[in-house]
Chains A and B, each alone.
Chain A
Amino acid sequence: MKPFYACNSPEHHLSRRQFLAGMATGALGIMGGGFSSFIHSAVAGELKSSEKRVLLIWLHGGVSQLETWDPKPGTSTGGPFQAIPTTVPGVHISELLPHCAKQMHRLALIRSINTAENDHAKGAYLMHTGRKQMPNMEWPHLGAVMAKLLGSPDNPLPGYIHITPRGQGGFNKQDAAFLGPRYCSVSLADGKPPENLLRPEPLTESADRQRNDLRQRLNNRFLQGRRTAETEAYTQSYDQAAQIMERRAVFDISKEPPKLAERYGSHDFGRHCLLARRLLENGVTFVKVTHSNYDTHYENFEFHIEQLGEFDQTFATLLDDLDQRGLLQSTLVIVMSEFGRTPKINRNYGRDHWGTAWSIALAGCGIQGGAVVGKTNADGTAVTDRMVGAGHLFHTYFRALGLNPKKNHYVNQQPIPMADPAASAIEEILA
């Protein structure tokens, strides 16, 4: 019952056999004793030093570019806040971001984004996949793509983790589209570890080992002459479960020094960013932290004072912390939303959805700190220089991470371009 969604649309599942073949070449060791034997190997050590990661700070609802990276003080659209100088001469950002201003030499700004998309869900899809949403077609998230391209197969942790402010945790299989659920995002609701990660109370570690030994003996007997790619995938899912249980401390921020936790901030976003750093440090390829909610149709300015007050110090701490641990140069940091906010201030002192002329910030791996690309006009109502869309951003992320965006995914032997072939990278921002 496998529909062939193809022509330019991707088939949604690689065949299990191809999938396993891919894993085998990734040194997973599918026929042998799981992959625990690889964890401490020299191979793993080498991979570690060349590993690259991505941190996405998702300012949910649509942060205002005018209150952040592209202030227009003293204009009819500029609002009440001033612009302040930064560590990069000539570059000013909103006074709501004093700590970020001190990080400006690490940040690069793109001030000329036009995605022409004012719908939350469609904007989010576009910014996560680099493609417009279309019927009969699902594109994988950047996180799933990077989990696949950059993830080390010897790491049992999920390659794409999303720390959400609240809600339900779990595996979001749709995020990986045709790449397969192995690369989908795992949500940690309010930073809580994945469901069923912890061994239930009365079961001791040794009893758990004993029952698993018995399970494996049963499997070995049953699979004599019956082994298939599907049975391998099944038995392997238990190995993966055991390994992530083994590493449960990765999800526990109480192991961090209290002083550092304080610098991150005692609010949810602070805790979530600290957890994000812990995850990145432990080899999770792509971590997304959602900070909610910037959908400020009412009282835009009050809300931005409050929200950015949390964001500013925490984000600056996170950059410092990553840098001090030597992780920043190998971690691409992206701060973005589904769109920006209208220059026009509505009668509720709010700003509405605005995909026409807005900004994002990048830092870290492959990014030229202090670079500012693109311009909007005096009151921020239009892009006047270097207009780019989500496709350009996708190309840029690939290049910053040392990947070739012109390569293809292969789905049923059909080439599917990884990034929109109609777009190209923003070279000026690359280190």
Chain B
Amino acid sequence: MSYPLPRYRWWLAVGLLITLAAAAPAQTPLHQRIDELIAAGTPDFERLAAPLADDAEFLRRVYLDLTGTIPPAAEARAFLNDPSPDKRRQLIDRLLASPEHARHMAHVFDVMLMERRTGRHVPPAAWHEYLRAAFAENKPWDELVREILSADGEDAQRRPAAKFYLDRDGEPHLLTRDISRLFLGMNLTCSQCHDSPIVEDYKQDLYYGIFAFLNRSFLFTPKGKPAVLAEKADGEATFQSVFDPAKVTKTAAPRLPGGPLVKEPMFEKGQEYEVAPGKDVKPVPKFSRRAQLAAQLTAPENVQFRRNIANRLWALMMGRGLIHPLDQDHSANPPSHPELLNVLADEIGAMKFNLRAFLRELALSKTYQRASVPPPGVKEVAPETFAVARLKPLSPEQLALAMMQATGLTDVERKALGDKLSEAALYAKLSGNLGLFVNLFGNRPGQPADFEATMDQALFVANGKLLRSWLAPNAAGNLTGRLGQIQEADAVAEELYLSVLTRLPTEEERREVADYLKERTQDRAAALQELAWALLASAEFRFNH
């Protein structure tokens, strides 16, 4: 069986490409090449491109993107006052090395890989800790994926990694769909029943090639023990097209899109198992198809695997993929900057999937550091030019953590921990508040994390008890507690704006605060809460800009 290969930059062409990429001397750092290729992608680029963001906008953005929250007012003040010309680079390096970065990546990849699915086989806390530890040691992406797709849940130590399989109940169609979307950037869902009528590249046999790695696997529950993923030695991936009037049945062998056919050893009848199936016995086949999947997927020859992660990390930082949507990589939906995506994919491979090093290059680029307002005279800039920074809505976790930092709850907890302070200890104090935000602001289980703004969210911010309690002044020095101690209106405005919006107020805003307080000398404490609330409820706070 042969494939129409050329559609994907696959096996055949790949060896050559890798050789070329490796041979190209990396004199120009990646972040500069990014900027060159982005500029080259749009004819009128210089006119359209926003200047670099000011220090305050950069600070807030990079904090949210790399650590999932905003900086305390004192840190914001220190950064803004730092005269060092190299301070952005220093900050990027410091944030990437922080434990908060690993925490944030654990949140991001949990949502990416599990899509807010609930599940009963692996507790969310164990999975979260597994991811956090992996990002803390900067585990390469290919290694992480191999662990996740090789885990069957048997070994208690490695069980959390099996969540991807187990909490999809080992369902082979669901797994085929999600593995193709999340690890290959190809949404083959439509190809389950027929060649996709919408995407010409997405043929039904691509789908069943992946399915064939998985359809012998099933959830097995040993007596008195938690469920694990087991596998049979038989079961073919057969399929018909619902459009085929003749109803011809085809059989797919395990094979990734465009990849090599997996060679299967033949066993005599009755000799297929290490452990034969039986009542309450977990079968172990001599040859596991599923075991081949992780290696095939993460093989250096698999360009699709690199393209996918490069594009996803790009989208994480820039607010939109070079391929958009992220799971529609096919010839009819080319990347906005095809050459750049090739470079990024090859570079992340050459970096041996060192995600931190890759994110560092993205963060250092001018493309990342541009202002979010177009230059004067330019009205609208198409998002796929990346000439102006895109607004990114905060994830539910970012929103919760940023609100806790802004209102000073985080500072109070930090102080209370004293010499017991660590990232883990502080997170343990704060994380109890995340669930409510995830419920209100998060996507439904198994659904994409699209931005939705709904009335119930606004009512929660406007009238909810939780935010109200965070805004009530506190002697331990939360935001409104601190503001209450400051007499001068101008100083109030500065502390308020730095704490909540990570910037200094403009002249107009200073006057606004002063006027607000002047009218409310009778109930100044209430007025301070209202001011803080208005900033928290603003679009400037809701979006990473």
Is A230 a contact of B453 with CB atoms below 8 Å? yes
Across-interface contacts of A9 in B (CB, < 8 A)? 189
Inter-chain contacts of B115 with A (CB < 8 A): 1
Q: Which of A3, A186, A225 contacts B327 (CB 8 A)?
A: A3
Contact of B482 with A by CB under 8 A: no
* Bitwise interface map of B from 157 to 194 toward A, beta carbon under 8 Å scored 1, else 0: 00000000000000001100100010000010110111
Binds A, one of B60-68, B125-133, B340-348, B526-534: B526-534
* Chain B residues with CB below 8 A from A170, complex form: 456
Contact B512 A214 (CB under 8 A): yes
- With both beta carbons as reference points, the residue of chain B lying nearest to A235 in the complex is identified as B539
Chain A residues closer than 8 Å to B196, beta-carbon distance:
7
B531:A4 contact, CB within 8 angstroms: no
Say yes or no: is B452 at the interface (Cβ < 8 Å to chain A).
yes
Of residues 114 to 158 in B, which have CB atoms within 8 Å of A's CB atoms?
115
CA distance A195 to B516 in the complex (A): 30
| Interface residue? A197 (CB, 8 A) | yes
Q: Is the CB of B534 within 8 A of A194?
A: no
Report Cα–Cα, A8/B197, bound state, in Å. 10
B451 near A230: Cβ-Cβ < 8 Å: yes
Interface segment among A215-223, A328-336, A359-367, A416-424: the answer is A215-223
Most buried by B among A174, A224, A235: A235
* Chain A CB within 10 A, most for which of B177, B193, B325, B454: B454
- Complex Cα distance, B177 from A136, in Å, reads 10
With A136-B173, A219-B538, A231-B391 already in contact, the answer to whether A7 and B530 are too (CB < 8 A) is: no
A174 to B531, CA, bound (A): 35
CB closest chain-B residue, reference A219: B539
Closest B residue to A7 by beta carbon equals B190
| Cα separation A235 to B537 with both chains bound (whole Å) | 9
Say yes or no: is B535 at the interface (Cβ < 8 Å to chain A).
Answer: yes
Is there a chain A Cβ closer than 8 Å to B476's Cβ?
no
> CB distance A3 to B181 under 8 Å?
yes
Chain B proximity of A204: nearest CB distance (Å)? 9
- Complex-state Cα separation, A104 to B194, whole angstroms: 51
Are A3 and B530 in contact, with the CB atoms below 8 A?
no
B464 within 8 A of A: yes
Kindly name the residue among B173, B457, B465 whose own CB sees the greatest number of chain A CB atoms within 10 A. Answer: B457
Is A18 on the interface with B (CB-CB < 8 A)? no
Chain A contacts for B192, CB-based, 8 A = 7, 136
State whether the Cβ of B518 lies closer than 8 Å to any Cβ in chain A.
Answer: no
> Given that A7-B197, A230-B391 are contacting pairs, would A240 and B455 also be in contact in the complex, using a CB cutoff of 8 Å?
yes
B187 A4 Cβ-Cβ under 8 A:
yes
In the complex, the answer to whether A237 meets B463 with C-beta atoms within 8 Å is: no
Measured in the bound complex, the distance between the Cα atoms of B444 and A16 in whole Å is 17
Is A408 positioned at the interface, with any CB of B under 8 Å from its CB?
A: no
How far apart sit A212 and B533, CA to CA, in the bound complex (Å)? 9
Closest to A213 in B: B534
Tell me whether B516 and A214 are in contact (CB under 8 A): yes
Least CB separation from A5: chain B residue: B189
**Which residues of B are found within 8 Å of A210, using beta-carbon distances?**
516, 530
Residue among A7, A135, A226, A241 making CB contact with B459, cutoff 8 Å: A241
Residues of B486-545 at the interface with A, using a CB-CB cut-off of 8 Å, are 508, 512, 516, 526-527, 530-531, 533-535, 537-540, 542-543, 545
- In the complex, per-residue mask of A265-303: 1 if CB is within 8 Å of any chain B CB, else 0: 000000000000000000000000000000000000000
Q: A136-B189, A196-B460, A241-B459 are in contact. Are A3 and B448 (CB under 8 A)?
A: yes
How far apart sit A430 and B165, CA to CA, in the bound complex (Å)?
50
Q: A212–B181 Cα gap in the complex (Å)?
A: 42
Answer whether A226 and B391 are a contact pair too, CB < 8 Å, given A3-B177, A16-B450, A214-B530. Answer: yes
* Given known A1-B326, A4-B189, contact A225–B373 (CB-CB < 8 A): yes
Q: Report the minimal beta-carbon distance from B324 to chain A, rounded to whole angstroms.
A: 9
**Contact indicator A226/B177 (Cβ below 8 Å):** no
| Interface presence of A165 (CB below 8 A) | no
CB distance from B533 to the nearest CB of A (A): 5
Given A211-B534, A224-B373, are A6 and B545 neighbors across the interface (CB < 8 Å)?
no
Collect the chain B residues with CB atoms within 8 Å of residue A174's CB: 444
Chain B contributes a number of interface residues (CB within 8 A of A) equal to 61
Q: Within the complex, which residue of B198, B450, B537 is in contact with A6, where a contact is CB–CB below 8 Å?
A: B198
For residue B202, give the distance in angstroms from its CB to the closest CB of chain A. 9
* A215–B538 CB distance below 8 A: yes
Contacts of B193 in A (CB 8 A): 7-8
Least CB distance, A138 to chain B, in whole angstroms: 9
Asked if A238 is an interface residue, CB under 8 A from chain B, the answer is: yes
User: A13 and B530: CB pair below 8 A?
Assistant: no
B98 within 8 A of A: no
| Chain B contacts for A135, CB-based, 8 A | 173-174
Which residues in window 164-221 of A have CB below 8 A to B? Answer: 170-171, 173-174, 180-182, 186, 194-200, 202-203, 207-208, 210-212, 214-215, 217-219, 221
A382 interfacial by beta-carbon distance below 8 Å:
no
Q: Answer whether residue B299 sits at the interface, using C-beta atoms and an 8 A cutoff.
A: no
B477 at the interface (CB under 8 A from A): no
Query: B326 touching A211 by the CB < 8 A rule?
Result: no
Chain A contacts for B465, CB-based, 8 A: 200
Question: How far does the alpha carbon of A222 sit from the alpha carbon of B545 in the complex, in Å?
Answer: 10
Q: Residue B328 at the A interface, CB < 8 A?
A: yes
Interface residue? A12 (CB, 8 A): yes
Q: What are the interface flags for B46-84 relative to A under an 8 Å C-beta threshold, 1 for contact and 0 otherwise? A: 000000000000000000000000000000000000000
- How far does the alpha carbon of A15 sit from the alpha carbon of B122 in the complex, in Å? 33
B538 touches A225 (CB 8 A): no
B373: chain A residues at CB < 8 Å are 224-226
- Which residues of A are found within 8 Å of B537, using beta-carbon distances? 215, 238
B258 proximal to A (CB < 8 A): no
Would you call B474 an interface residue if the criterion is a C-beta within 8 Å of the partner chain's C-beta atoms? no
A7-B194, A225-B374 are contacts. A212–B459 as well, Cβ < 8 Å?
A: no
Contact B463 A1 (CB under 8 A): no
Asked if B450 and A196 make an inter-chain contact with CB atoms under 8 angstroms apart, the answer reads: no
Chain A residues within 8 Å of B393, by CB: 230, 234
A250 close to B (CB within 8 Å):
no
B449 within 8 A of A: yes
Q: Which residues of A contact B421 (CB under 8 A)?
A: none
Q: Does B447 contact A (CB under 8 A)?
A: yes
Cβ of A233 within 8 Å of any chain B Cβ, yes or no, is yes
Residues of chain B within 8 A (CB-CB) of A136 are 173-174, 177, 189, 192
CB neighbours (8 Å) of B391 from chain A are 226, 228, 230-231
Task: Check if A194 sits within 8 Å of B459, measured CB to CB.
Answer: yes
Say yes or no for B458: interface residue by CB 8 A criterion: yes
List which A136-172 residues lie within 8 A (CB) of chain B: 136, 158, 170-171
Q: A215-B538, A225-B373, A244-B455 are in contact. Are A2 and B448 (CB under 8 A)?
A: yes
Give me 9 other A-B pairs in contact (C-beta within 8 A), A3-B177, A4-B190, A219-B540 excluded.
A1-B112, A2-B325, A2-B450, A4-B328, A16-B450, A215-B534, A228-B391, A234-B543, A237-B453
Could you give 7 example pairs across A and B, Cβ below 8 Å?
A9-B189, A194-B459, A202-B526, A214-B512, A215-B538, A237-B457, A241-B462
Q: Sort A-B residue pairs by CB-CB distance and give the 5 closest, nearest first.
A: A241-B458, A211-B530, A7-B190, A196-B459, A214-B534
